[in-house]
Amino acid sequence: MQCSTRALLSPQSFQPPAGNTGTRIRLVVEALASILVLLQFRLESGPSILRHS
C-alpha cells in the first residue's frame, strides 16, 4: 500500500516548476502523501475513532 502510494506521488511523475514555488508545492505534495499514508494505516488498524463522528 505504502509503496504504491509513494510511486504515484513520486517526484518523477510530478515535476513542479523550477523556483521557490516548485519547492513549496513539492513539500506540500510530500506532506499530503505522508498524511494519506498515516490515514490509510489508521483506517486499516482500527476505524473506531471514525465511528464516533
Q: What is the pLDDT of residue 32?
A: 94
pTM of the model: 0.43
The torsion defined by the Cα of 6, 7, 11 and 12, in degrees rounded to 10, comes to: 170
pLDDT in tens, 9-53: 555 555 555 567 778 888 999 999 999 998 888 777 766 655 555
Residue 2 binned pLDDT confidence (cut-offs 50, 70, 90): low
Query: Using an 8 Å Cβ cutoff, are 7 and 38 in contact?
Result: no
Residue 1: what pLDDT?
A: 47
Residue showing cell 504504491: 4
